[in-house]
A and B are shown apart, each in its own frame.
Chain A
Amino acid sequence: MLLKRLTEAYGVSGDEGDIRDILKEELSGHADEVYTDALGNLFFRKGKGRGPKVMLAAHMDEIGLIVVGFEKSGLLRVHKVGGIDDRVLVSKPVVVGKNKVPGVIGAKAVHLQKPSERKKAIKIENLYIDLGVRSQDEAEKLVSLGDYVSLSAKTREAGDNCLIGKAFDDRVGCAILAELFKEDFDLDITAVFTVQEEVGLRGSGVAAYSIHPDVAIVVESTSASDVVGTKDASHVTTLGGGPAITLMDASYIAPQVIIDLFVQTAEKLGIPHQFRRLTTSGTDAGKIAQTHAGILTGLVSVPCRYIHSPASIININDVQNTSRLVKGVLNVIAEGGLTLETTTEKIK
């Protein structure tokens, strides 16, 4: 299963090589053109079609850590890459660097902490990676400064058609687009698997610049907070509630034509769908929409509980329905169902 392979692979922002390799292997036979750019974005292009030029985007990178120093004892000092809650990190297994050296995230044992310490969150400054080595020399033989550190976790099936695992944000988007790209649409399509979304939406803007599409669709994963102790109004999305269409986030406001396109397509095809009920946090959609003289961009996400942790949950129905919705939207675009032209009046 592609999604399992993609999520179990390691690809912290700036170090997306393994994900690129999987996708290249998976899609090269289906594309007319495959290339990468100076940042590492991976592009697959195919098709002609008379319709608008379409960009599909999902980001390959995941949050993680990076080695910034060594203790004499051989423990590694790390900083966070992307937005991680420090409290999630303690006692997690990791792999470090190109050679995937295994390690664990350690902290002072609770027995040795003062009562006042025990009540506090354990900050990254008080965490370290333990490779099981006894000295800095030994550690330096295994890893180097600047090596990326990824949380490691298996992807497993669980509950009622759910998956447990890490990095669904946004490997689920990658998997959906990879599968869709294999199908035929009467369109000029470029699927881009972007880098460095988690460190400030770095990859998508330059990718959109070089493709210069007429319309872009971003497939993301977003928070589902439909859990005990959270009020209905704060659920953001509901697990199993279908693809979540974004109306507005910190980087983006959906144009009315795009909302209509997604909602009407979902209704026509009988696909359950929901709106993302949170307006904070930015996405690649915002960057793409602001490229060149403005690119019409849509954003749809798979709900994910406990996002940005190595034990998150998604629902397989949501994945399938998101895929169906994007496919439906692409067909509508191919049939000329999206008005791209804006009004021009020549007065004199």
Chain B
Amino acid sequence: MWNKVQVSPKNWGLSDLDIKRFLKDICEAPGVSGYEHHVAKVIKAAFCQFCDEVRQDRLGNVVFYKKGTGESNRPRILLAAHMDEIGLMVTKVEEGGFLRFTAVGGIDPRTIVGQEVILYGKETLAGVIGAKPPHLTDDEERGKGHKIEDLHIDVGLPEDQVRKLAAPGTLAVIRRELIELAGNSIAAKALDDRAGIAVLLTCLDELERLQHSADVYAVATVQEEVGVRGAAVATYGVVPDIGIAVDVTHGEMPGVPEHDVSYIGKGPALTLGPNIHPKVGKELVRLAKEYRIPYQIEVTPGVTGTDARAIQVTRGGIATGLVSIPLRYMHTSVELLDLDDIKQAGRLLAHFIAAVDHEFVEGLPCY
């Protein structure tokens, strides 16, 4: 089932501009959980130049394989970043052609009022999210946040045409182009977790210049936002020795205790806690220090809300790590982060992969 990749000779690495352009491409591509095929294509186009083989499993996870230099019995490392994003799904066409919808993944309905949407029906339609206007509501109603049942999508078409074009099950995403902010900051939709995809890409690029004996399986996973579903089956298929999830984490903001957040621009957050294999966690910290890569420690007391949750308990148990990019306004269309954190995370992962040898892998089940 593996497809060989046609590798064209390359003599360049990823520049800042390349990463930003890549992020713009993938963030603006639709890929709501369960329907990731479009963004998968964009991702594949960029990744193929850095890997040897690619396959897609039956749930849609895309696995990029980069062979290690080890002679035989090479360590197997899985990197997972999810390519799905949260979105909206039509549940009912109301009289007048208004579309009722539900959320795919966790959406705060208060953040989508007054947004433009793109509706992927039989045709691609432009629309807006409408609600009863403030003039027609009283003070008490205005004091409350909108619930998803109160909202609808309006595509400005008569009911009969809407029924033809946008049956129940039709998906929509908030329309948002990537916004370049001061310094290295950007804001976009779906940076959770397309930022992780960009980390995987920078890591593969870094690996071109490093010796690594381990085989690398970089996976763009599906359906994370609806319950870390893709990573579970992808890990079952790859059977790695080590699995590292790359996701986003909450950046600092007013009103949230310092110990519950990470700082944007201060390097990737490395998670410790029961979900993380202690030796994998420590090794990431050690390498960050050795290569002077800025990092932060994040402590999660139980399971994390990332692919790491699924990876760890696959088959007979997988040594798991988690590297996160600090990001503000998670699950909105203006998720904000610093590109430098992505680059640093990519470097760290590459050095980690290069450092993994037989001895390290054999030590993982020894407590």
Contact = CB atoms under 8 A, between A and B. Distances in A.
Interface of A: 13-15, 17, 20, 35-42, 65-70, 77, 79-82, 125, 145-146, 195-196, 199-200, 202-203, 205-207, 209-210
A68 B299 contact: yes
Contacts of B312: 39, 202
B180 to A, nearest CB: 33
A82 B302 contact: yes
Interface stretch (B8-16, B44-52, B116-124, B255-263): B255-263
A79 B317 contact: no
* Nearest 6 pairs of A and B residues by beta carbon: A69-B259, A14-B274, A146-B272, A210-B316, A206-B317, A199-B302
Nearest to B318: A38
Q: Which of A15, A39, A69 has the most CB of B within 10 A?
A: A39
Contacts of B281: 146
Nearest to B260: A68
B74 to A, nearest CB: 18
Contacts of A79: 299, 301
Contacts, number: 89
Nearest to B366: A36
Nearest to B302: A199
Contacts of A195: 274
Interface string B135-164: 000000000000000000000000000000
A82 B274 CA distance: 11
A75 B315 CA distance: 41
B273 to A, nearest CB: 6
B365 interface: yes
Contacts of B313: 39, 202, 205-206
Interface in B231-284: 257-260, 272-275, 277, 281
B273 A14 contact: yes
Given A79-B299, A199-B303, A37 B257 contact: no
Given A77-B257, A145-B299, A209 B315 contact: yes
B297 A37 contact: no
B367 A66 contact: no
Contacts of A125: 257
Contacts of A39: 277, 312-313, 317
Contacts of B316: 37-38, 206-207, 209-210
B364 interface: yes
A15 B277 CA distance: 10
Interface in B314-335: 314-319
Contacts of B257: 69, 77, 125
A28 to B, nearest CB: 14
A13 B367 CA distance: 14
Given A69-B258, A146-B272, A202-B312, A81 B301 contact: yes
30 contacts: A14-B275, A15-B274, A38-B316, A38-B318, A39-B312, A41-B317, A42-B367, A65-B301, A66-B273, A68-B259, A68-B260, A68-B299, A68-B301, A69-B259, A69-B260, A77-B257, A79-B299, A81-B274, A81-B301, A81-B302, A82-B302, A145-B299, A146-B272, A146-B273, A199-B274, A199-B301, A199-B302, A205-B313, A209-B315, A209-B317
User: Chain B contact residues (Cβ within 8 angstroms of A): what range?
Assistant: 20 to 34
B227 to A, nearest CB: 13
Contacts of B317: 37-39, 41, 203, 206-207, 209-210
A287 to B, nearest CB: 9
Contacts of B259: 68-70, 77
A15 B313 CA distance: 17
Contacts of B314: 206
B8 to A, nearest CB: 38
Contact of A200 (B272, B302, B318, B364): B302
B334 to A, nearest CB: 27
Nearest to B314: A206
B364 A38 contact: yes
A304 B277 CA distance: 31
B267 to A, nearest CB: 15
Nearest to B361: A38
A15 B274 CA distance: 8
Contacts of A77: 257, 259
Contacts of A199: 274, 301-303
A22 to B, nearest CB: 13
Contacts of A13: 274, 302
B315 A206 contact: yes
Interface in B33-72: none
Nearest to B297: A145
Contacts of A40: 367
Given A41-B317, A209-B316, 10 more contacts: A38-B317, A39-B317, A40-B367, A65-B301, A66-B299, A79-B301, A206-B313, A206-B317, A207-B317, A210-B315
Nearest to A211: B316
Nearest to B279: A38
B77 to A, nearest CB: 13
A27 B188 CA distance: 56
Interface string B328-365: 00000000000000000000000000000000000011
A196 B274 contact: yes
